[in-house]
Structure 1
Amino acid sequence: MSVTTTAHINSRGQAREMLHFYAQAFRGEVTIATYTDIHAVEDPGQADQVAWGQVVASNGFRVMAYDVQPSKPFDAGENAYYLALRGDDATEIRRMWDGLADGATVLTSLGPAPFAPLYGMLTDRFGVTWIVDVTPPQH
């Protein structure tokens, strides 16, 4: 049996844009169910917002996102969490970094680090901070 952990990002009205952005960056497929689709509309303005969404890529990347209902409090916070993106293929990691970097604030440029062949940190255009690295070879 295998178990996976999937990051779940909460937003207020940006989940659809987020999911499509990540699908492009990671070459994944988007699945979205709106509040109308699941019969859970609280407010007419929320009808087409994302009640459940995910991006799944063939390389194993997966992320979920949804738009928090108007009846629930929401504060995106500051540094409330990081998402870690790790892989063993430097070319693929660089490609993903380049996708995420579109509109991002780069906190640490992607490059060699004492603990990893490549390491970088950025906050993407949605305020999500990503730690991106190539896993060091096991000795």
Structure 2
Amino acid sequence: MAVLTPYLSFRDNAREAMTFYQSVLGGKLDLVEFSDFADMPQDPADADKIMHSWLATEDGMVLAGSDTPTGMEYQPPQNISISISSDDEPRMQAIWDGLSDGGAVTIPFESAPWGGRFGMLVDRFGMSWMLSVDEAQ
């Protein structure tokens, strides 16, 4: 079995971002700091930054992320979106409301010409999202 997991890179705010995503999506969040691996060569300034985080929700969504170490170039995300689709409209509306708080709506979360609802936004951490409510079959 293979698993495809979005892995997000941040510049010094992975803890804040992943905690925010947990508040929106729910689930269990595991955070590992660079300092948890003291034998690994690292910049002391990175000690309390997030080396790896893993958010897993009860409905099967998984999102991972980390801070970019000081010695590595950080590139803000571009040309990619995280997409969530579901037939659970109240859950999707709650996710939309959470992610859009402090973000910028690109396409409002409204009825789509192909049915259901669709919307796009960039959240407060610069991540692009597409949300879709599929019509019940």
TM-score, normalised with respect to structure 2: 0.92
Shift of 1:38: 2.2
Where does 1:29-68 land on structure 2 (aligned, <5 Å)? 29-39=28-38, 40=40, 42-68=42-68
> What pairs up with 1:17-28 in 2 under 5 angstroms?
17-28=16-27
Question: 1:3 is paired with a residue of what secondary structure?
Answer: coil
**1:73–1:90 Cα change, 3 Å:** same
Equivalence map 1:1-139=2 (5 Å)? 2-39=1-38, 40=40, 42-77=42-77, 79-138=78-137
Which whole-Å deviations, capped at 9, do the CAs of 1:71-90 have from their partners, x for residues lacking one? 2211214x331110111111
Report percent identity of matched pairs.
Answer: 26
C-alpha distance in 2 between matches for 1:118 and 1:97: 11
Once the two structures are superposed, residues 60-106 of structure 1 have per-residue CA deviations (whole angstroms, 9 ceiling, x without a partner) of 121001011122211214x3311101111111111111111110101
Higher strand share: 1
Q: Which runs of 4+ in 1 moved over 6 A?
A: none
Question: Unmatched 5+ residue regions in structure 1?
Answer: none
Q: Which amino acid aligns with 1:108?
A: I
How far off is 1:56 after superposition? Answer: 1.0
Structure 2 letter corresponding to 1:120: G
Cα offset for 1:4? 2.9
What is the number of residues matched between the two proteins? 136
Counterpart CA distance in 1 for 2:7 and 2:43 is 23
Preserved contact between residue 116 and residue 133 of structure 1 (Cα < 8 Å): no
What is the letter of the counterpart of residue 43 of structure 2?
Answer: D
RMSD (Å), alpha carbons: 1.5
Offset from partner CA, 1:8-54 (integer Å, 9 cap, x none): 00011011001000000001221001001123352221101000001
Return 5+ residue gaps in structure 2 as ranges: none
CA distance in 1, matches of 2:118, 2:57: 22
- Alignment TM-score, normalising by the size of structure 1: 0.90
SS state at 1:42 partner: coil
